[in-house]
């Protein structure tokens, strides 16, 4: 049973004068108060201040039980005497812990889950009053609730619009669309709450993390079927034939397994066409309405990769296209130093690249896959071409070999270069 304590009112209860016979042994700080009993324990706050922590109950036995638990908390370490609401603590945690120490995209995700899924339901709860049952009930309710209703998605649309899809058409007009969150959304919202409460425990604001005792299964990851070698070849040949301006970028994501952000964040200064090498260390991301050019997330993501002739040819073509665009733009050219830019030299929006990729899939007549699936396609291509697992691990920059094939061995950069050359030669055919 969780400890139930209440904060003292501005005027602490005055202890009445009672004979010792009205109290049990060692209960000198428990006494009758109003319609019940009150008790206090001297505790040390996280700030190092000595103060009294109060407990109340309808009977002496109930108060005594709470009083003993307060004593136990005081023996274990600092005790918080004033607990904020969960919404207040989440705001503090996001501003002072998450934002300064985590990647912008991670911080934005935490903020989104807290704002949309946690605060509306659990926000008014006092932090020290939050129980395992509260969290479990919240998770169960979240699974069954329509997020269109909860977040007012349909209500935010205009009542009248020429496009039927853009006007109110479901929850706002009494036709609930039952837009329940996915299992991954529920899981990530729960993990956000758990991370916030873990920080409260570290800061000694809470004695334990109640979310840790909630049953939350990890959803199964959706398996993505990568392109076959023939599908990848057909896609690249179609993009080259149609003179798609993003063809060099498609080559990088398929042949070298670059992530979308790494491809759009690649700088010319990190590319050596003469030595056929490039250094991966930067990425381009849109986070919180801002387009950020920042370093990659981990050291394992950084690497100097050799590349085959198909990549060299594609990047030289991109270099010529950049020079032509810069000459046409004149004074309007914005020199960002990025390999892939718009006609005026500005960075390419990740969402625009995704649309271009989807359009190229349709033109090539191949099965549509999302851009992140190209990394898995690259791994499959390397395996199909007898690339060593360690070679695939180096090219894809996995931090552990288990992520690649769970095979352990050492290879040289020359073997890496040969594997990429075989892949490039195969695709060029």
72's CB contacts (< 8 A; 6+ apart) are: none
Adjacency order of strands within the sheet including 50-57: 30-33, 36-44, 50-57
Looking up tokens 């939050």 gives 130
Is residue 382 a contact partner of residue 404, using CB atoms and an 8 Å limit? Answer: no
The SS3 call for residue 306 is strand
The pLDDT of residue 267: 94
Is residue 336 a contact partner of residue 345, using CB atoms and an 8 Å limit? Answer: yes
Distance CA 255, CA 228 (A): 13
DSSP assignments along 310-372, one per residue? HHHHHHHHHHHHHHHHHHHHGGG-----BSSB-TTSPBPPHHHHHHHHHHHHHHHT-----TT
Indicate the length of the chain as a whole number.
Answer: 429
List the chain domain ranges: 1-82, 86-145+180-213, 229-428
User: What pairs with residue 57 in β-bridges?
Assistant: 37
| Secondary structure E strands in 220-310 | 271-272, 277-280, 282-287, 290-295, 303-306
Is residue 305 a contact partner of residue 278, using CB atoms and an 8 Å limit? Answer: yes
Question: CATH 1.10.1040.10: does it fit domain 86-145+180-213?
Answer: no
Sign of CA dihedral 174, 134, 56, 43: negative
Is residue 45 a contact partner of residue 80, using CB atoms and an 8 Å limit? Answer: yes
Output the six-digit token pair for 320: 């010529």
E strand or H helix at 56: strand 50-57
Output the six-digit token pair for 365: 């007549």
State residue 347 phi and psi, 5-degree precision.
-60, 155
Q: Give the CATH number of domain 229-428; options: 1.10.443.10, 3.30.420.40, 3.30.70.270, 3.90.226.10.
A: 1.10.443.10
pTM, two decimal places: 0.71
Give the mean pLDDT per block of 10 residues along the chain (429 residues): 45 51 52 87 80 84 86 78 87 94 92 95 92 95 91 88 86 88 94 96 86 89 80 89 93 89 93 90 88 75 74 92 93 93 94 95 92 78 63 68 48 58 66
Distance CA 318, CA 200 (A): 51
The SS3 call for residue 46 is coil
């Amino acid at each position: 049973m969780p400890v139930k304590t209440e904060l003292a009112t501005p005027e602490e209860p005055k202890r009445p004068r009672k004979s010792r016979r009205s109290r049990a042994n060692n209960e000198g700080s428990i006494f009758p108060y109003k319609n019940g009993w009150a008790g206090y324990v001297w505790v040390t706050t996280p700030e190092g201040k000595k103060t009294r922590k109060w407990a109340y109950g309808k009977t002496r036995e109930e108060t005594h039980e709470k009083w003993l638990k307060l004593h136990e908390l005081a023996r274990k370490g600092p005790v918080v005497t004033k607990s904020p609401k969960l919404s207040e603590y989440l705001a503090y945690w996001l501003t002072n812990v998450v934002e300064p120490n985590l990647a912008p995209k991670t911080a934005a995700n935490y903020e989104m889950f807290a704002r949309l899924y946690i605060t509306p339901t659990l926000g008014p709860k006092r932090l020290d009053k939050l129980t395992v049952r509260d969290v479990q009930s919240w998770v169960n309710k979240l699974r069954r609730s329509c997020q269109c209703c909860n977040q007012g998605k349909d209500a935010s649309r205009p009542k009248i619009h020429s496009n039927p899809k853009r006007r109110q058409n479901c929850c706002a007009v009494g036709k609930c669309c039952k837009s329940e969150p996915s299992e991954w959304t529920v899981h990530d919202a729960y993990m956000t709450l758990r991370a916030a409460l873990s920080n409260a425990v570290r800061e000694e604001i809470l004695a334990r993390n109640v979310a840790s005792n909630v049953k939350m299964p990890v959803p199964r990851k959706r398996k993505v079927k990568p392109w076959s070698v023939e599908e990848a070849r057909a896609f690249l040949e179609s993009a080259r034939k149609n003179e798609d301006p993003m063809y060099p970028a498609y080559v990088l994501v398929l042949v070298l397994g670059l992530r979308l952000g790494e491809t759009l964040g690649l700088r010319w200064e990190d590319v050596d066409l003469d030595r056929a090498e490039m250094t991966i260390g930067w990425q381009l991301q849109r986070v919180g309405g801002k387009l950020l050019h920042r370093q990659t997330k981990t050291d394992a993501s950084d690497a100097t990769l050799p590349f085959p002739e198909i990549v060299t040819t594609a990047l030289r073509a991109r270099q010529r296209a950049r020079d032509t665009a810069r000459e046409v733009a004149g004074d309007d050219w914005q020199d960002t130093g990025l390999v892939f830019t718009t006609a005026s030299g500005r960075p390419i929006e990740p969402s625009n690249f995704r649309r271009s990729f989807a359009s190229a899939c349709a033109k090539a007549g191949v099965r549509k896959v999302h851009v992140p699936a190209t990394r898995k396609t690259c791994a499959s291509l390397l395996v199909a071409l007898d690339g060593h697992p360690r070679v695939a691990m180096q090219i894809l920059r996995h931090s552990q070999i288990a992520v690649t094939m769970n095979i352990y061995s050492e290879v040289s950069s020359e073997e890496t270069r040969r594997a990429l050359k075989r892949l490039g030669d195969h695709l060029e055919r």
